[in-house]
Amino acid sequence: MALWSGRFAGDTHGLVGKFSASLGYDRRLYPYDIQGSIAHARMLGATGIIPPADAAALVKALGEVRAALDRGEFPFDERLEDIHMSIEAALIRKLGEAGARLHTGRSRNDQVATDERLLLRAEADALTGRLVGLQQSLVRQAAAHTRTILPGFTHLQHAQPVVFGHHLLAYVEMLERDKGRLADCRHRLNVCPLGSGALAGSTLPLDRERVAAELEFDGVTRNSMDAVADRDHLVEFLAALALIAMHTSRLAEDCVLWMSPEFGFVEFDDAFCTGSSLMPQKKNPDVAELTRGKAGRVYGSLIGLLTVLKGLPLTYNRDLQEDKEGLFDAIDTVAAVLDVLAPMMDSATVRVERMRAAAADPGLMATDLAEWLVGQGVAFRDAHHQVGRFVGDCVRRGIGLDLATLAQMREHIPLATEECLKLFSPERSVAARDLPGGTAPAQVERQVAFWQKRLA
């Protein structure tokens, strides 16, 4: 059909209709389209642009359409290309001429721009709640393991002893920054484009501020051309989702490593693992692996939208229709990841003794020895060099640092005393790092208390 236009003599080609239709996915916008339409109708009636009786009828009918959509009983017509036209057509069927008045003073350009901002506000709030849920799960595990010691890694090599709770709280910090990014994005997007029209505003006396206030926006957009062409908020939102996906992927990678036989630090409940189609003994961390993999999908949505936007002239271009599928998929993907990771982390059984055994290598306390020398007035670079020579000597002798005699230590570290021989304890090592941000159990307990209060 020639959609809503008297300009065209014939119907749209069937293939073009299918090619350009977005109803299959943009129907997800219906709650926000109706929310914006109700505010717009009330404004049109209050300003006298349309008869107040028609405005009241529109508000009532929009409520009925919303109810039918909520129940899954809305009669979609696939010849109508998007959710906006579907809702408007339903109003015209219900109200006749009054239904045709709803689109007064607006374009689909400012309409969809408004719908998307309303959607992102709601999704930012929902995702923030999911982030809190995963944080709470990590904090619960951290609270149970403020004194559980395992090796910390750099370059995937054993580095220094740390407390397991400290390791988990690192991810809580990442997720807190993710919440902040969503909040920042929400703040910037919370201005109302309605009234911008197709690109130039309207000759009608629209009360844009009234609509913005009813929709709980902080204000109205200042430039009608920017308002309909802008998709920065979608890019920013997808960038925030990409960072969440990256953080959860890193957590998932730690989980995969911890569950491997080589580490054996953690086991997750059977409910979050799968078997092999061939090998009966296998227990695979598939949830963690899928979490890693799904990060790529989210990145793809971000790059896809950036690519769509990079060459578009002002103002609206139909390319912008491609802003939705990737966005919706990224939102759903991140939501699913956050939903499943929280109970998976709650299900973890921590192999405390296996962790402690892996952290017992005295080489992990070599830095403690160097810092002991610093306390004796030795410049750190000199201390580092002396301890490095001592470590190399122990490697050549085939003995652990804790098995060297004081005389052997003094061959490389002249200031060494009996106290140095006592430094090779993981418990002593973590306890000594008792400063803000450190891995000392006392510090981790303070951090756990902080997060329990913050996330309550």
In this prediction the pTM is 0.95
- Summarize the confidence of residues 40-56 as an average pLDDT: 98
Q: Which residues contact 344 (CB under 8 A, 6 or more apart)?
A: 255, 268, 269, 272, 287, 288
The answer on pLDDT for 2 being more than 80 is no
Does 315 sit behind a cis peptide bond, omega within 30 degrees of 0 on the bond before it? yes
Interior/surface letters 385-420, b for 16+ CB within 10 angstroms, e for the rest: ebbeebbebbeeeeeebbebeeebbeebbeebeeeb
Query: If pLDDT is split at 50, 70 and 90, which confidence band does 5 have?
Result: low
Each residue's pLDDT tens digit, 400-423 = 999 999 999 999 999 999 999 999
pLDDT band at 3 (very low <50, low <70, confident <90, very high): very low
CB atoms within 10 A of CB 52: 13
The pLDDT of residue 8 is above 90: no
Residue 159: its H or E element: strand 157-163
| SS3 assignment, position 10 | coil
What are 377's two structure tokens?
């007035």
Dihedral sign, CA of 253, 259, 263, 266?
A: positive
Say how far apart CA 347 and CA 279 lie, in whole Å: 24
Walk me through the domains of the chain, giving residue ranges and CATH numbers.
14-104 (1.10.275.10), 109-357 (1.20.200.10), 361-455 (1.10.40.30)
CA distance linking residue 171 with residue 136, whole number of Å: 11
Cα–Cα dist 404/284, whole Å: 42
Q: What's the pLDDT at 4?
A: 54
Percent of the chain residues topping a pLDDT of 70? 98
Report pLDDT for 314.
97
Residue 284 burial (CB < 10 Å; 0-12/13-18/19+)?
A: middle
- pLDDT tens track for 183-242: 999 999 999 999 999 999 999 999 999 999 999 999 999 999 999 999 999 999 999 999
pLDDT bucket at 138, cuts 50 / 70 / 90: very high
316 pLDDT band (50/70/90 cuts)? very high
Residue with tokens 């400012």: 110
When pLDDT is averaged across residues 64-77 and rounded to a whole number, the result is 97
CA-CA-CA-CA dihedral for 429, 432, 433, 439, to nearest 10 = 60
User: Does residue 124 carry a pLDDT above 60?
Assistant: yes
Which residues are marked as active site?
155, 276
- Helix, strand or coil for residue 154? strand
CA-to-CA distance for 133 and 336, rounded, in angstroms? 12
- Confidence band (pLDDT; 50, 70, 90) for 18? confident
d(CA 403, CA 421): 9
Residues paired with residue 249 on neighbouring β-strands, in sequence order: none
Rounded distance, CA 323 to CA 313, Å?
Answer: 16
pLDDT tens, residue by residue, 169-178: 999 999 999 9
